[in-house]
Amino acid sequence: MPHTQSISDKIIGRLSLYRRMLERGDSSGEPLDHVFSHELASMAGVSAVLVRRDLMTIGFSGNPKKGYNAGELIASIGAFLDAPGGQNACLVGVGNLGRALLAYFIYRRPKLPIAAAFDNDPELAYRVIRGCRCHPIHDMPRIIAQERIRVGIITVPADSAQLVADQLLRAGVTGLLNFAPVALRVPPSVYVDNIDMTTSLEKVAFFARQPAREKEVAK
Amino acid sequence: MPHTQSISDKIIGRLSLYRRMLERGDSSGEPLDHVFSHELASMAGVSAVLVRRDLMTIGFSGNPKKGYNAGELIASIGAFLDAPGGQNACLVGVGNLGRALLAYFIYRRPKLPIAAAFDNDPELAYRVIRGCRCHPIHDMPRIIAQERIRVGIITVPADSAQLVADQLLRAGVTGLLNFAPVALRVPPSVYVDNIDMTTSLEKVAFFARQPAREKEVAK
DNA sequence: GCCTGTGAAGCTATTCACAGCT
DNA sequence: AGCTGTGAATAGCTTCACAGGC
C-alpha cells in the first residue's frame, strides 16, 4: 500500500459494516462463499456501485462470474482495518451507559478489546465490572502506557467529558469515542467520533412527524 | 412556514446541538443573554458560517451589534424541532443497553419522553424499569396506539431487530433509532437513524493508528 | 471595525453510464 | 447476459468572499 491517499471516515465505516455482514453469512446464518456487489449492498443498505468503489479503494478485486470471494474479502478488510497484533481500548465512566457498553463490546471484536475501565468512584476501584477491570482515574497514565492503549471511550457526564478527554490525550490516547453531549476540544491530530444519542433521538422524532417521502439510513 | 424545502438530516442534528449548548449556558453555567455566531460555533464545534446558515434556514435573525438572542433562539429551535404538544417514544429490548438508555433519556427532554418499553422476557412484564413501564411485546399495538407513539428505539440483538422493526411499523411507528448492527429494511417513508457502536469503535481505532493530520468530529 | 446574511465557488460523496471480462 | 471496474457527471454540503447595518 504505497500512498493510501487518506481514506475517508465514511468508507472506513462501511468497510466495518461489510465485514460484519459477511461474517454473519446469509439469511439462514450459513457462511457465504461468494457475494455479488448488489448482494453485499443490500445487506449493508447501500448501493452496489458504492460497494464496488469501496472495495476498489482497498484494492480488492472480484470476478464478473462469481462476484467477490467472501472469505478473502473478510481477510482483506481485516488486514486493512485491524491493527496487526490487536489493539487495546479503554473506557472512562462506569455508570449505567459505561457498563452497558462494557457488556456490549466484550468478546465482540477480539482484536479490539476494552482492556481497562476507569472511574472515580472508590467503590469501583480494582473491581471487575462486566468482565473488565476498573481502575481509579489516577492510575490512568500508568495503565494506558502499560497496555499501549490509544483508543478511549468516554461515558462520563457532560461536565467532566473535556477533563477526561484531556487526561486521556495526555496519557497517550489518539482516538476518542465520545458519548457525552459536548463538542470536545482536541488537537487536530486526534480523531473523535461523537455519538450523541439525544440529537439522534430528536432527529428521529422530527422526521417521524414529517408527512412522508424521506430518505433513510444515517451516519 | 410556507415551504420548508425538506431540511436536511444534518441541519436538524446541528440545531438540536445548538439548543443544548445554549441551554447549558456559558462555561460557568450562567444562562446566556446573547451569542455571536462564532461563540455558538465554538461551543458546537462547527464553523461560524455554518451556524449562520443553519439559523437562516429556520428563519431566525440576529443583530450585528449583539448577536443572537439566546432565549429567543432556544424557543425558535424548539418551535421548529419539537412537536407542539410533546411526542412519545418507546423502546424495545430492555437488556443492558436498553436499561442504560432508559436511564439516560429520562427527564432529559420532557417533550420527548420514552412512554413505554417492551421486552419478551416475562420476568419484566408490567414492571417499572428505570422509571419506565415495561410491557410484553404482544401489547405493542395497543400501547403504541394509545400513547400515539411514532418513535421507536430498537435495542434488541441483531437477529430480532428486523422483526421488531416490522412490528413497530405495523403498529404505527414512523421513525426508528436503531442500535442493532443491521441495516433495517423499511419503506422509504420511514426515517431510520442507525447507531452502530461497533463500527464507531472500529473507526476510532483505525484513525487512532494513522500517523497524524486528521479531521475530527463526525456524524 | 465587527457582525450578520447570502450569492457564488469549492469540495466531497455518490451515482450514472459504459467499457471490458469471462 | 450479467457482472466488475471506473471516468465523467451530479448532487449535496461547507466555506469563501463580500455587501450591508439595531
Chain B residues lying within 8 Å of A213, measured CB to CB: 6, 188-189
Residue in B103, B109, B190 nearest the CB of A216: B190
Average pLDDT, chain B: 93
How far is it, in rounded angstroms, from Cα A33 to Cα A20?
Answer: 15
Closest chain A residue by Cα to residue B153 = A201
| CB-CB under 8 Å, A209 with B83 | yes
Indicate if the pLDDT at residue A63 is higher than 80: yes
How far is it, in rounded angstroms, from Cα B166 to Cα B186?
Answer: 8
Closest chain B residue by Cα to residue A40 = B183
How far is it, in rounded angstroms, from Cα B215 to Cα A111?
Answer: 25
In the numeric block, the cell 422493526 is attached to B165
Chain B residues lying within 8 Å of A115, measured CB to CB: none
The pLDDT score that the predictor gives to residue A213 is: 47
Residue in B6, B173, B177 nearest the CB of A201: B177
Query: In the beta sheet, which residues pair with residue A116?
Result: A90
| CB-CB under 8 Å, B204 with A151 | yes
Q: What is the CA B211 to C1' D6 distance in angstroms?
A: 29
Tell me which protein residue sits closest to nucleotide C16, measuring alpha carbon to C1': A49
Burial of B149 (0-12, 13-18, 19+ CB in 10 A): buried
Q: What is the CA B61 to C1' C12 distance in angstroms?
A: 30
The pLDDT score that the predictor gives to residue A4 is: 44
Q: What is the CA B45 to C1' C6 distance in angstroms?
A: 22
Query: Does at least one atom of strand D sit less than 7 Å from the CB of A138?
Result: no
Q: pLDDT grade, residue B4 (50/70/90)?
A: very low
Write the DSSP string, A18-39: HHHHHHH-STTSPPPSEE-HHH
How many CB pairs below 8 A link A and B?
245
Residue range A91-106: mean pLDDT, rounded: 97
pTM (predicted TM-score):
0.93
Q: What is the CA A49 to C1' C16 distance in angstroms?
A: 10
pLDDT per position as a tens digit, B144-180: 999 999 999 999 999 999 999 999 999 999 999 999 9
How far is it, in rounded angstroms, from Cα B81 to Cα B15?
Answer: 8
The grid cell for A180 is 457525552
Q: What is the CA A4 to C1' D4 distance in angstroms?
A: 22
How far is it, in rounded angstroms, from Cα A99 to Cα A135?
Answer: 14
Note whether A56 and A18 are within 8 A (CB): no
B55: nt with nearest C1' to CA: C5
pLDDT per position as a tens digit, A19-46: 999 999 887 878 899 999 999 999 999 9
Residue range A52-63: mean pLDDT, rounded: 96
Q: What is the CA A212 to C1' D14 distance in angstroms?
A: 27
Chain A residues lying within 8 Å of B24, measured CB to CB: 158
- Chosen for mutation from B204, B210, B215, B217 (greatest number of chain A CBs closer than 10 Å) is B204
Indicate if the pLDDT at residue A217 is higher than 80: no
Q: How would you classify the pairing of strands B151-154 and B175-178?
A: parallel
Indicate if the pLDDT at residue B1 is higher than 50: no
Residue range A54-64: mean pLDDT, rounded: 95
Residue range A164-178: mean pLDDT, rounded: 98
How far is it, in rounded angstroms, from Cα B7 to Cα A73?
Answer: 38
Residue range B9-33: mean pLDDT, rounded: 92
Chain B residues lying within 8 Å of A190, measured CB to CB: 214, 216
Query: In the beta sheet, which residues pair with residue B194?
Result: B178
The grid cell for B48 is 461560524
Closest chain B residue by Cα to residue A175 = B208
Query: Does at least one atom of strand D sit less than 7 Å from the CB of A55?
Result: yes
Residue in B99, B188, B202 nearest the CB of A216: B188
pLDDT per position as a tens digit, A99-138: 999 999 999 999 999 999 999 999 999 999 999 999 999 9
| CB-CB under 8 Å, B188 with A215 | yes
Chain B residues lying within 8 Å of A89, measured CB to CB: 201, 205
pLDDT per position as a tens digit, B37-70: 999 999 999 999 999 999 999 999 999 999 999 9
Tell me which protein residue sits closest to nucleotide C21, measuring alpha carbon to C1': A64
Nucleotides of D under 7 A from a protein CB: 2-7, 12-17, 20-22
The pLDDT score that the predictor gives to residue A32 is: 92
Q: What are the C-alpha distances in Å from A197 to residues A182, B17, B20?
A: 11, 11, 12
